[in-house]
Amino acid sequence: MRSFSLCATALALAGAASAASVAEAPHLVHAAGRTALFVDGAPYLVLGAQANNSSNYPAMLGKVWPALEDMHANTLEIPVAWEQVEPVEGRFDFSYVDTLVAQAREHGKHLALLWFAAWKNTSPAYAPEWVKFDNQRFPRMVDRDGKASYCLSPFGEETLAADRKAFAALMSHLAQIDGSRHTVIMMQVENEVGTYGLVRDFGAKAQAAFERPVPAEVLAHQPAPVKHAASGNWREVYGDYADEYFHAWAIASYIEQVARAGRAALDLPVYVNNALRDAVEPLAPWKADFASGGPTYDVIGIYKAAAPHVDIAAPDLYNPASAQIDATLAKFQRPDNPLWVPEMSHAPGYARIVYDVLGRGALGVAPFGIDYTTYTNFPLGTKETASRVIVEPFAPAYAVFGSMDRLWAKWAFEGRTHGVAEGDDRKDQSITLGPWTATVSFQEWQFGEKSWPNHPTAQPPGTETPSGGVAIAQLAPDEFVITGQHARVRLAPAQPPAAGHGAMFARVEEGHFDATGQWVMERNWNGDQTDWGLNFTATPVILKVRMGRY
Ligand code: DGJ
């Protein structure tokens, strides 16, 4: 596993790509509790789009790339199914992967590949038929009464051996066709693992392991939510949480073997994604309310302990409640677990979440179901399948971040970025920026105040439902790059100035960064354009703002 740490003084140099670093495979670099995904020698911002589940065939790809182009996405997430690369045991066919990689290069896109194998939304549906219908060789989990579950057991030795072998074969193939090209930048191993309706495997092997002492590395990484014995078997240490935590350990241990074998062939960053549990309600033991054993926020420590070759446990955002999104993002972003959102709904309200996620310094984000195969996963996503509905809402934000993606990724790595998305309550939000505070408000016209008697009562177009988002990078104490949509930003000193003193805009330049990262001013905002704060409409622009004091 390759993973680098930088000391703080070296951080400034991190953006400079050298000939040696360009040859390096994509990898994660850690510094000061933050992480960057380095691709070709510099931090990379994933402006991702995930294709629909069954778009993983060459005949479908023609309906995938145009959606990415229209959205201004730079990275496609798409499945590689075990059933398609090893339909007959031991006979691998990577022709789809070859086509995919070649087309990604033609379209100038990177790839994050999703290994759909023993678990896809917990089910073995994507395992080859020779696996999923042979309960003798590839056992299913059983409940307390010995009744088989739909789910494969993480204790199936032949299941693990076969899954591991297939994933390693895929990674060896990628090493041959892409080892020096870096089209593929990340791998997801399995998909939304865990089990619905059964807390863990009660088969003989599982039961024996459950009764053994909790491994020391788990004890070191995963505190018990309720204090019990400091060591002992799973029940003794984790009490009512023991079954779920044990299942997380069992699945994470399985994934570790798959990831490790794959990375021995081609060492790319690896992540697992999660069908979330409620992030707002107080933590409680599993009660059939989420997929037990998946990398939910409360068991990230177990995944860290059991799966050191898995870099990231990542949240899939499909609950639109802003309190859930806030709490989830906060819980998944940890010094040992970089924030990366590999899936979120493509419903239009989610476009504003891009500003929040990228402002928090995430490696990237990817709406799900982005292709023109005319499938939509309503009610998680939209009802309609038109580009106008599933792709276009994201395009403006992706266009602005895309125009400064390497810079934004570097600033995020340096801890300079912040972001908010309009909440369901539609209230103002504030961002602390050293000596300044940014107040972000929503449903504002570009001119005037809501408090004016003659102020229009009609909502500005496009703000009928929460749609606002703002992202800010602080380049220097008084200097900011700000972008956003459907939002007003006001900057004021964090501490009230002494009598007779004040603060005002020095410059509010609208412009863009050129291909070398140099700022190109197009105009300076003043007068009506700044008297009522910095007002972002449906079409985001980039502002370079400098504040001054008198
Ligand atoms: C989350 C899964 O990870 C995706 O593969 C997909 O099934 C969506 N849910 C629902 O469309």
- The three state secondary structure string of 229-250 is CCCCEHHHHHHHHHHHHHHHHH
Taking 60 as the threshold, does the pLDDT of residue 253 lie above it? Answer: yes
User: What is the Å distance from ligand 1's center to 80 Cα?
Assistant: 14
Task: For residue 381, give the ligand 1 atom closest to its CA.
Answer: 11
By percentage, how much of the chain surpasses pLDDT 70?
A: 96
Confidence of residue 457 (pLDDT cuts 50, 70, 90): confident
Element (H, E) at 360: none
Hey, what amino acid is at 65? W
Regarding the beta carbon of 192 and ligand 1, being less than 6 Å apart is answered yes
Determine the residue of 56, 190, 316 to mutate for testing ligand 1's pocket, defined as the one with the most ligand atoms within 8 A of the Cβ atom: 316
Task: For residue 369, give the ligand 1 atom closest to its CA.
Answer: 11
Regarding the beta carbon of 191 and ligand 1, being less than 6 Å apart is answered yes
The torsion angles phi and psi of 178, rounded to 5 degrees, stand at -135, 5
Mean residue pLDDT of the chain comes to 95
Q: What is the pLDDT of residues 422-450, one digit of tens each?
A: 999 999 999 999 999 999 999 999 999 98
Taking 60 as the threshold, does the pLDDT of residue 525 lie above it? Answer: yes
| CA distances from residue 186 to 27, 362, 427 in whole angstroms, order as listed | 8, 15, 37
Q: Which residue is it, tokens 């020095």?
A: 506
| Chain-centre distance for alpha carbon 495 | 35
Residue 120, strand partner residues: 123, 191
Taking 60 as the threshold, does the pLDDT of residue 164 lie above it? Answer: yes
Regarding the beta carbon of 345 and ligand 1, being less than 6 Å apart is answered no
pLDDT of residue 16: 43
Spatial distance between the Cα atoms of 262 and 270, rounded to a whole number of angstroms: 10
More confident residue, 431 or 3: 431
> Whole-angstrom distance between the N-terminal and C-terminal Cα of the chain?
53
Q: What is the pLDDT of residues 284-330, one digit of tens each?
A: 999 999 999 999 999 999 999 999 999 999 999 999 999 999 999 99
Average pLDDT (231-235) is: 98
Closest to 343 in 3D by CA, of 300, 303, 373, 377: 377
Average pLDDT (381-404) is: 96
Spatial distance between the Cα atoms of 95 and 72, rounded to a whole number of angstroms: 27
The closest residue, in CA terms, to atom 6 on ligand 1 is 53
Regarding the beta carbon of 121 and ligand 1, being less than 6 Å apart is answered yes
Regarding the beta carbon of 389 and ligand 1, being less than 6 Å apart is answered no
Per DSSP bridges, beta strands 75-81 and 110-120 are parallel
DSSP secondary structure of 451-517: TSTTS--SPPTT-SS---EEEEEEEETTEEEEEEESEEEEEEESSPPPTT--EEEEEEEEEEE-TTS
The closest residue, in CA terms, to atom 5 on ligand 1 is 53
Predicted model pTM: 0.95
User: What is the Å distance from ligand 1's center to 121 Cα?
Assistant: 7
The burial class, CB within 10 Å (0-12 / 13-18 / 19+), for 434 is exposed
Hey, what amino acid is at 234? W
Taking 70 as the threshold, does the pLDDT of residue 362 lie above it? Answer: yes
Taking 50 as the threshold, does the pLDDT of residue 9 lie above it? Answer: no
The torsion angles phi and psi of 512, rounded to 5 degrees, stand at -150, 165
Q: What is the pLDDT of residues 477-515, one digit of tens each?
A: 999 999 999 999 999 999 999 999 999 999 999 999 999
pLDDT of residue 270: 98
| CA distances from residue 35 to 14, 77, 302, 307, 505 in whole angstroms, order as listed | 12, 20, 20, 18, 33
Confidence of residue 143 (pLDDT cuts 50, 70, 90): very high
Determine the residue of 343, 344, 345, 378 to mutate for testing ligand 1's pocket, defined as the one with the most ligand atoms within 8 A of the Cβ atom: 343
User: What is the Å distance from ligand 1's center to 295 Cα?
Assistant: 15
Taking 60 as the threshold, does the pLDDT of residue 8 lie above it? Answer: no
User: What is the Å distance from ligand 1's center to 122 Cα?
Assistant: 11
Regarding the beta carbon of 77 and ligand 1, being less than 6 Å apart is answered no
User: What is the Å distance from ligand 1's center to 484 Cα?
Assistant: 28
pLDDT of residue 1: 53
**Two tokens at 134?**
């042979």
Q: What is the pLDDT of residues 189-231, one digit of tens each?
A: 999 999 999 999 999 999 999 999 999 999 999 999 999 999 9
